[in-house]
């Protein structure tokens, strides 16, 4: 049924990918040599001579697509992840192709043509796969290509799973019912009925009419898990386990293999990966240097205005809590009159605050006072993007009042962040700010950082909540 269809679909997908690779390659040759877009050498290899390389390129790229999991079911696989995997596979393919040409000393292959092929193939492949995805989702919404399944156990996890299946008919899942020992037969949730007890699994499995089984036992019934898994494994039906711990661990955990022992990490933090940390750090250093150069006239003017309009130091240094709860001094252009540190330590800035200088009010509204933090970034105390750091007094206060507040200190604090570009700056909800900070921490990518930096220019600098 579904399994056979998936095999046929994967074969069709391989054929489509091969056609896309050939099409992109031929189009790249045409664009390079026949379109008139590029200056031509007096001679160049013919299309026939270039086509010989496809005997190696096509199977090589198909193998890369397989290694990057581009032939897994698309039901719940995101478009961005698929596009990212296509980009990675094509990048490896480009490097290998170029390396092979160097090894065999083939100097007559146009490197421009290879670069064009790289770009065209990525765009065409992503376009083709999105067309296939749209076609499949349309079919599933119409009731075709469905996966039939039952749930074992009625729990909060079962309700949440049903909610998502009902909200996304394009995934193509049909839930035939729930087996549960505690709920009466016929009881239902959003049209999905309890059809029997868990013992009925012994009758249902031999009929071989199911594509999947989802174990959604309540946490107090996990003693039954071993026998249920044994029955499902014996039948050969694909089985998934949906844990009932969202009310205990309200986060996005992930599992890693520790020499055969599965370990559940309560929170997935991409920046705990060394490579990710170094990538972000390199981007911070490069971005900070570029920003300092670009904004140096603005910083010079701000420095002159601060020094000539009020008495006191140019730079205001304030202790904040950063990565791993370590304190550091964050820099700002001074925007207030000089005040006693003990009085200032635990006090918010309020609207029409008399401590704010006239030029300080403008700098705070436009975030110009934050520009010296670029030097915090160079020192490694801050990042361009991340949760905003807070004063020790408020950290101690919020960690007792707000669940998961301290998780934000697992990454470097930032000049701007996901919460800030979504409007949570200054005198706004701390709860909502932490919610956005946690999303950023768990879903970090270089692309997300770039998106936040770009959006900061459009809606992050002017802060209506800055007093």
Q: For tokens 């669940």, what's the residue?
A: 403
| All domains of the chain in start order, with CATH | 2-141 (no CATH), 147-248 (3.40.50.720), 274-459 (no CATH)
Kindly report, residue by residue over 198-216, the tens digit of the pLDDT.
Answer: 999 888 888 777 888 999 9
DSSP 8-state secondary structure symbol assigned to residue 336: B
Helix boundaries (H) for 168-200: none
**328/51: higher pLDDT:** 328
Report whether pLDDT(383) > 50: yes
Give residue 27's pLDDT band: very low, low, confident or very high (50, 70, 90).
very high
Predicted pLDDT of residue 466: 55
Q: Determine which of 6-20, 182-196, 212-226, 397-411 has the lowest per-residue pLDDT on average.
A: 6-20
pLDDT above 50: residue 160: yes
pLDDT above 90: percentage of residues in the chain: 33
- What DSSP line would sit under 23-80, residue for residue? HHHHHHHHHHHTSSSSPPPS----HHHHHTTHHHHHHHHHHHHHHTTTTS--SS--HH
Q: Which two tokens stand for residue 399?
A: 């960690």
Encode pLDDT of 416-467 as tens digits.
999 988 888 766 778 889 889 999 998 898 888 988 998 888 765 665 555 5
Residue indicated by tokens 């690779």: 21
The pTM for the full model equals 0.60
Report how far apart, in Å, the C-alpha atoms of 233 and of each of 4, 13, 147, 226, 263 are.
19, 29, 18, 11, 21
Kindly report which listed range (95-99, 117-121, 234-238, 452-456) carries the lowest average pLDDT score. 234-238
Of residues 394 and 462, more confidently modeled: 394
Lookup: tokens for 165: 């299946």
Rounded Cα distance, 375 and 363, in Å: 18
Q: Residue 398 in contact with residue 430, Cβ under 8 Å? A: yes
Cα–Cα distance, 355 to 102 (Å, whole number): 67
Q: Please indicate whether residue 215 or residue 233 has the higher confidence score (pLDDT).
A: 215
Helix and strand totals (H; E) in the chain: 16, 12
Q: Is the predicted pLDDT of residue 33 greater than 60, yes or no? A: yes
Question: Which of 36-40, 177-181, 212-216, 301-305 shows the lowest per-residue confidence on average (mean pLDDT)?
Answer: 36-40
Average confidence (pLDDT) over 95-114: 82
Instruction: For residue 20, give both structure tokens.
Output: 């896309």
pLDDT at 195 over 90: yes
d(Cα 352, Cα 336) in Å, to the nearest integer? 12
Q: Report residue 161: phi and psi, to 5°.
A: -65, -45
Residue 15 burial (10 A CB sphere; 0-12, 13-18, 19+): exposed
pLDDT of amino acid 184? 92
Query: Cβ–Cβ contacts within 10 Å for residue 331, how many?
Result: 20
| Residue 2 pLDDT > 60 | no
Whether 4 has a pLDDT exceeding 50, the answer reads: no
């Amino acid at each position: 049924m579904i399994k056979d269809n998936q095999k046929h679909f994967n074969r069709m997908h391989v054929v489509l990918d091969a056609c896309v690779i050939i099409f992109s390659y031929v189009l790249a040759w045409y664009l390079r040599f026949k379109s008139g877009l590029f200056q031509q050498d007096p001679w160049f290899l013919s299309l026939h001579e270039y086509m010989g390389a496809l005997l190696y390129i096509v199977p090589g790229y198909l193998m890369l697509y397989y290694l990057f999991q581009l032939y897994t079911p698309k039901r719940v696989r995101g478009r961005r992840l698929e596009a990212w995997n296509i980009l990675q596979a094509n990048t490896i393919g480009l490097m290998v192709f170029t390396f092979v040409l160097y090894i065999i000393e083939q100097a007559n292959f146009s490197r421009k043509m290879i670069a064009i092929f790289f770009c065209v193939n990525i765009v065409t492949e992503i376009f083709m796969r999105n067309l296939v995805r749209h076609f499949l989702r349309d079919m599933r919404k119409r009731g075709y290509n469905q996966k039939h399944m039952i749930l074992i156990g009625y729990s909060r996890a079962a309700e949440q799973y049903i909610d998502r299946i009902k909200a996304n008919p394009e995934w193509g899942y049909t839930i035939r019912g729930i087996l549960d020992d505690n709920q009466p037969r016929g009881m239902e949730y959003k049209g999905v009925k309890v059809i029997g007890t868990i013992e009925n699994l012994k009758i249902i499995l031999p009929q071989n009419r199911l594509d999947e089984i989802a174990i959604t036992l309540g946490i107090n019934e996990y003693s039954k898990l071993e026998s249920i898994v044994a029955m499902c494994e014996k039948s050969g039906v694909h089985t998934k386990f949906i844990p009932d711990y969202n009310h205990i661990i309200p986060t996005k955990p992930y599992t890693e293999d520790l020499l055969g022992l599965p370990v559940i990490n309560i929170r997935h933090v991409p920046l705990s990966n060394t490579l990710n940390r170094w990538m972000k750090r390199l981007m911070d250093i490069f971005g900070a240097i570029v920003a300092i150069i670009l904004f140096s006239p603005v910083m010079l003017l701000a420095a002159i205005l601060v020094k000539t309009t009020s008495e006191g130091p140019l730079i205001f240094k304030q202790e904040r809590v950063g990565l791993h709860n370590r304190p550091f001094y964050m820099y700002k252009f001074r925007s207030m009159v000089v005040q006693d540190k003990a009085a200032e330590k635990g006090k918010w800035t309020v609207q029409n605050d008399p401590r704010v200088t006239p030029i300080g009010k403008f700098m705070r509204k436009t975030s110009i006072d934050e520009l010296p933090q670029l030097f915090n970034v160079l020192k490694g105390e801050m990042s361009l993007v991340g949760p905003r750091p807070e004063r020790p007094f408020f950290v101690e206060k919020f960690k007792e009042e707000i669940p998961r507040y301290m998780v934000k200190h697992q990454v470097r604090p930032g000049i701007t962040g996901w919460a800030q570009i979504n409007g949570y700056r200054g005198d706004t909800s701390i709860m909502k700010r932490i919610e956005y900070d946690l999303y950023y921490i768990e879903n970090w990518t270089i692309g997300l950082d770039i998106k936040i930096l770009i959006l900061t220019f459009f809606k992050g600098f002017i802060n209506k909540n800055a007093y």
